[in-house]
């Protein structure tokens, strides 16, 4: 999703991204049939919280533009610990959300919203989405130059970078490289798989 998202944004800006994928789109964590699009909640730092709120709004716009991506709107988060009840109150009171975006539901309201009995209430995030990640990957990668290959390391090229496979063959050369390999990116430490 991170790679497809970067490719979408670069193509929208008039650039020509190349996506290099070791297996297939959705081979990693982004391949689940369903995903929740919820904001990271932060009650400590108002600026950071506002950034996440903006990110949610932008993400929901983009996912909403993808045909067949949105399965449902609204996510109810229930408390995972007793302290979450007060935390949800503080989150809902933050001035960063559009009106009605964050609502505290009591158990009866939560039951009505879900259509099944709930013993506890929670934080209803009205903007949040349930999406089909694979529909998003298909849409964002359509028309993008894609190559199969596992990047083993990066080397400096005359201008930019050379992306090298385990056998030593060059998969691509690029001016700018964005690492979006999910858990696989951990190998790309500077000084090891990336030269200083
Ligand atoms: C059980 C579970 C449920 C989750 N639920 C949610 C949820 O509801 N909502 C949510 O937002 N997040 C959820 N997450 C987290 C989410 O899945 C991940 O944060 C997200 O998918 C990561 O996306 P990514 O693009 O960074 O990485 P990935 O989706 O893992 O993609 C990385 C891609 O890079 C490729 N790759 C890796 N190394 C290389 C290499 N060297 N060369 C070439 N290609 C390479 C891989 O093949 C893969 O396709 C969940 C995670 C789990 C485990």
pLDDT in tens, 150-187: 999 999 999 999 999 999 999 999 999 999 999 877 77
Q: Mean pLDDT throughout 21-38?
A: 96
| pTM > 0.75 | yes
Q: CA torsion, points 62, 67, 72, 77, in degrees to nearest 10?
A: -30
Residue nearest (by alpha carbon) to ligand 1 atom 34:
181
- Check residue 185 and give its pLDDT: 74
Any atom of ligand 1 within 6 Å of the Cβ of 30: yes
Q: Mean pLDDT throughout 62-81?
A: 97
Q: What band does 13 get if pLDDT is binned at 50, 70 and 90?
A: very high
- In a mutational test of the pocket of ligand 1, which residue from 125, 184, 185 has the highest number of ligand atoms less than 8 Å from its CB? 184
- Check residue 186 and give its pLDDT: 76
Q: Mean pLDDT throughout 3-27?
A: 96
Domain locations along the chain:
1-28+144-184, 34-131
- Centroid of ligand 1 to alpha carbon of 73 (angstroms): 22
Residue nearest (by alpha carbon) to ligand 1 atom 36:
181
Residue nearest (by alpha carbon) to ligand 1 atom 33:
181
DSSP β-ladder status, 122-131 and 70-77: antiparallel
Q: What band does 188 get if pLDDT is binned at 50, 70 and 90?
A: confident
Q: How far apart are CA 152 and CA 166, in angstroms?
A: 5
**Would the pLDDT of 111 be above 80?**
yes
- Check residue 183 and give its pLDDT: 84
- Check residue 153 and give its pLDDT: 93
**Would the pLDDT of 86 be above 90?**
yes
Any atom of ligand 1 within 6 Å of the Cβ of 165: no
Mean pLDDT for the chain overall: 95
Residue nearest (by alpha carbon) to ligand 1 atom 5:
35
Q: How far apart are CA 128 and CA 76, in angstroms?
A: 9
Any atom of ligand 1 within 6 Å of the Cβ of 21: yes
- In a mutational test of the pocket of ligand 1, which residue from 181, 186, 187, 193 has the highest number of ligand atoms less than 8 Å from its CB? 181
Distances (CA, A) of 70 to 17, 24, 36, 63, 136: 26, 22, 10, 7, 9
Answer yes or no: are the C-beta atoms of 60 and 37 closer than 8 Å: yes
Q: How far apart are CA 107 and CA 171, in angstroms?
A: 55
């Amino acid at each position: 999703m991170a790679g497809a998202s970067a490719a979408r944004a670069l193509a929208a800006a008039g650039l020509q991204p190349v996506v290099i994928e070791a297996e297939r789109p959705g081979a990693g964590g982004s391949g689940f049939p369903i995903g929740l699009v919820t904001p990271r909640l932060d009650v400590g730092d108002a600026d950071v919280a506002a950034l996440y709120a903006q990110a949610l709004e932008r993400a929901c716009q983009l996912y909403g533009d993808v045909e067949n991506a949105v399965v449902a709107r609204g996510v109810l988060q229930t408390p995972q610990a007793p302290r979450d009840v007060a935390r949800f109150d503080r989150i809902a009171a933050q001035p960063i959300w559009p009106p009605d975006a964050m609502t505290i539901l009591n158990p009866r309201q939560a039951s009505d919203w879900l259509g099944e009995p709930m013993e506890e209430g929670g934080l209803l995030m009205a903007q949040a989405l349930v999406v089909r990640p694979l529909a998003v990957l298909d849409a964002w990668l359509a028309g993008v130059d894609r190559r199969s290959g596992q990047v083993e390391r990066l080397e400096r090229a005359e201008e930019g970078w050379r992306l090298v496979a385990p056998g030593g063959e060059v998969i691509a050369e690029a001016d700018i490289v964005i690492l979006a390999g999910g858990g696989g990116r951990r190998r790309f430490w500077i000084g090891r798989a990336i030269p200083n």
